[in-house]
Structure formats: structure tokens, C-alpha cells
Structure 1
Amino acid sequence: MRGSKTPIHTVATWVKRQPFKIKMFLAGVSCLATLVFLKIIVHDHDNLFVAAEAVHALGICILIYKLMKENSCAGLSLKSQELTALFLAVRLYCSVVMEYDIHTLLDSATLGTTLWVIYMMRFKLKSTYMEDKDNFAIYYVVVPCAVLALVVHPSTSHYILNRVFWAFCVYLEAVSVLPQLRAMQNTKIVEPFTAHYVFALGVARFLSCAHWILQVVDTRGRLLTALGYGLWPSMVLLSEAVQTFILADFCYYYVKSLVGGQLVLRLPAGVV
């Protein structure tokens, strides 16, 4: 005898049957509603950026728990971790020389834990690393980000090298998760801890994107001029949007898997 369906499952089933355009419309409405909700309940929207960094750190903690509990790094992308360490190191440098604050402390903690994950994957758990699945060429993202940073960077009064570094870490952060998504696409099946970690990244990216959007709304666009002139303000917002968009598809399948009561996430072809 079948049990009664929960309202969440009923809604999920209805959404699944809708055409692609309707799904995109519903996704847009949901994001807009979430932004309005955050604007109402969060008085200081700078806290959203802090929350984004905290959620990112939580995702790293999930990885550490996986490595310690399962004594395996199967399913994880070493290249994504290395890209994460790179942009965190550059961002930490910029934070120290340009604006030392709470973000500096959060980045220090996240960088330290990320380096520990890299050490475990490279040495302690090397036998479980699925190198053949982690086949994304990282120079495809590092080189374009570096070139773009040289061309489009902040126009503030800081030293030119610091401004280029600042732009580089913003651009690299936007695409640092691509090797992890490729590795998961290659394996097709994503075990729970890895899925939780990537979902945490998705939540962190959405909170960060919401922070910038609400800050622009609060200042009635004055924030964009405060960031500088030229293409840089638009590139900051575009980078935040790209990060969110890259992870949106995965987050959809993650939530769908949870609603369906599945512990292991199975990705269809074409997600990445």
C-alpha cells in the first residue's frame, strides 16, 4: 500500500512535468522571492557576505569529516581544491594589504583547511584519488582569468599589482568549482559527503551574489561607482552571477535527490 505523498513531493513532481521555459520562470521567481525575503530579515546586508564565507568554510569541514571518516578522497577533485587554495591565497594577500578585517580571518581559516585537504589527497589518501576522472585542464581557467585581470581590474588608488591580484581572485573564484563538477559528471554517481560539500558551495555563492545585488539596491547604484569606473563593477556582478549559475543545475538535482529520499546523487548526462 502506497503512503500518502508529502506536499513537497507533490510540488516537485508537478515542477518536473513542466516545460523547460516554465521551470526557468519558476526558478527566477524563486530567486527573486528569496532575495526579497533576505532583504526583509537581514538588516545589514554585509552579513550575507560573511555568511557566504562561513558556509564555504562549513563545506570544507564536511570534506574534512569525509576524509577522516571514510579514509578516502574518492569523488573529490584535487584540481578544484588547488584552484580554491590559489584564489584564497591571493584574496588573503589582498585582504591583508588592502582592508584587514573579519574577512581576512575567515579566509585564513578556509585557506588553512583547504591546504590540509590538498595534503591529504596528495599524500595520505593518494591511492583513493580518482585521477582519471579529475581530467579538467586547469590552465583553461587560470590563464584566461589572469589575462582578464590584466585587462579589467579595479580603478582604485591601490598599487596596480594589488588591483590585478584582486581581479584575478574574483574571476578565478567564479570558475574554481568546474573541475569538481567535471569529476562528478565523469563518475555519474556522487556520494553524500561530496554532494553536501558542493551544495554548500552553491549556497555560499547564492548568498554572496545576494549580498552584491542587495548592496546595489540599498545604495541605489552608488556601490557600482564606489568600486571604480569602466568594466570592473559590471565584471564583479557578472562573476557572482556566473558562480551561482554554474552551481544552480547541480543544486537542483541535489534538492530533487533529497526530496526523493535518495542518499546517493545520480547526475544525468549534460549537467556539466
Structure 2
Amino acid sequence: MRGSRRPMAVVLSWVRRQPPKVKAFLAVVAGMAALVFIRFIVHDHDNLFVAAEAAHALGIGVLIYKLTKEKTCAGLSLKSQDLTALFLAVRLYCSFVMEYDIHTILDTATLAATLFVIYMIRFKLRSTYMLDKDNFALYYVVLPCAGLALLVHPSTSHNIINRISWAFCVYLEAVSVLPQLRLMQNTKIVEPFTAHYVFALGVARFLSCAHWVLQVLDTRGRLLTALGYGLWPSMVLLSEIVQTFILADFCYYYVKSVFGGQLVLRLPSGVV
């Protein structure tokens, strides 16, 4: 078992020693290689979106297990859960009034699970909540997302309020994990269940991003035209990419920790 881990450990150790620009380049190359691989093995790229939802659901399942079995919410950001509930609620509203489909059902289930997590943290397990570490100011993300949604939103025939709401939930989803990353940076040590949850979010974000990128490639850009005109189509794609790269650094340290046989993830300074 140790022999099978050694090559990966050597590679990860080499990557860790590289300057930030080289790491960023390697991340882009790895992402492009993964997209090419997925394109050839997944014939129906709509399945990637379902897989992303499944990864998110799996992550929330890990959280619920942690909260109900271990009776602690230490290491979890209530603010990230609040942001998640907010963008899911707005997206659910938009789904009902604009495009009711299977994703409406998936979002309903995810929102219900997220509200349960919020209830557990806020009331049942409040004594274990790290209030002093969960210090990310929500107006740093909510207000910019709202302002951006007012300026750049879909150009469809729907009501203007619905179009702005749709844009707001897209932008907010892209940055909703920032409070969780801030909390983990403050503590420096991430226990396994929280690490599994955030890694599942990273996988979900990547699969969702892959879905959009491959759909654009398959339609030769026609998908962007179908979303409307102006800056909105580009902002949708950019939001998906931003979500992925926000979590890329954490996922690197998570994989490094797993292959190193560590049960507890230790983050160096600057990983946010």
C-alpha cells in the first residue's frame, strides 16, 4: 500500500515546491486534461449536471452524519450554509416560475437538507459552533452579487425581477463557499467529515463547470446564444469557472492529505 502511494506523494511534493504561477498553469492543464477525458467517456453531457447534484447531495449527507452521530458542528461555517440556503431558495423560485423540471425537485431536496443543517448548527449544537472563527462578513459577497445581478442578467422574455433573481443566485452560488474556506483557514486544522464535505463541493463544482464547458463546445457556441445576448452568457460560464478555482487549492491539499495517510487535514497559511 505504501509503495502505491509513493509516486503520488513525490508528484504532490514537487507541485508544492513550485511557485504560484507554475501551480496555476499546472491546475489549468490538469483541468483541460480532465475535460478531454470526460468528453470521451461521457456521451450525454447532461449527466454531468446530475452527477454534480449527486456529489453535492453526498457532501450534505456527510454533514448530516457528522451533526447527528458526532453531535458537533465544530469546523462548519453557518454563514456558508446561510448563503447556500439563500441561493437555493432564489434558484428554486426561479425554477418554479421560469423552467419547472427535474432540477426543481433536486433543488427542493437540497434546500430541505441545507435548512436541516442550519437548524442543527443554530439551535441543537450551538455550543460547539465556532462563532469567533466564522467571521466572514456576508455583505462582502451578497451586496456585490446583488449589484452585479442588476447590471448583468438574462435577456430573455421573463419578468425583469425573475431575470435579476436568476442572475443573483448564479453569482451567489459561485462564492457561497468562501465563509467555509475562511473558517478553515482560521482554524488551520480541518477534521475529516468537514474535509470530505468541502471536497465533495469541489467535485460538484468541477462537474458542473465541465457540463457547461462541454455543452458550449458541443453546440459550437450556440448554447451561449440560447442564454441571451450581451455579457450574461459569458458571466454564466465565468461563474462556473470561478466556483471551480475557488475550491481547487483546497482539493489539492485534500488529495495530498489522503495519499499521505493523514486523517486530519492541515492547511498552510494563505489557502483560502
TM-score category of the 2 structures, normalised to the smaller one:
over 0.9
Cα distance change, pair 73–11 in 1 and its aligned pair in 2 (3 A): same
User: 1:103-122 deviations in whole A, cap 9, x for unaligned?
Assistant: 11110110000000000001
Distance 1:93 1:61 in 2: 24
Distance 1:200 1:254 in 2: 11
Distance 2:24 2:165 in 1: 35
- RMSD of aligned C-alpha atoms? 1.4
Does the aligned pair in 1 maintain the 2:75–2:183 contact within 8 Å? yes
Distance 2:20 2:147 in 1: 36
Comparing 129-138 with 50-59, greater Cα deviation is found at 50-59
Q: Which residue of 1 aligns with 2:248?
A: 248
3-state SS of 1:205 partner: helix
- With normalisation by structure 2, the TM-score equals 0.96
Distance 2:5 2:144 in 1: 48
User: Structure 1 residue 19: deviation in Å?
Assistant: 4.2
Does the aligned pair in 1 maintain the 2:5–2:259 contact within 8 Å? no
User: 1:9-62 deviations in whole A, cap 9, x for unaligned?
Assistant: 233233334444443333222111110111111111111111111111111111
- With normalisation by structure 1, the TM-score equals 0.96
Distance 1:74 1:193 in 2: 10
Cα distance change, pair 150–3 in 1 and its aligned pair in 2 (3 A): closer
Q: Which residue of 2 aligns with 1:184?
A: 184
What does 1:71-150 align with in structure 2 at a 5 Å threshold? 71-150=71-150
Ranges in structure 1 where 5+ consecutive residues have no aligned partner: none
Ranges in structure 2 where 5+ consecutive residues have no aligned partner: none
3-state SS of 1:158 partner: coil
Q: Which residue of 1 aligns with 2:56?
A: 56
Distance 1:65 1:263 in 2: 17
User: Structure 1 residue 4: deviation in Å?
Assistant: 8.3
User: 1:59-106 deviations in whole A, cap 9, x for unaligned?
Assistant: 111100011121000000000000000000010111111111111111
What does 1:172-251 align with in structure 2 at a 5 Å threshold? 172-251=172-251
Does the aligned pair in 2 maintain the 1:54–1:106 contact within 8 Å? no
Comparing 173-182 with 22-31, greater Cα deviation is found at 22-31
Aligned length: 271
Identity %: 82
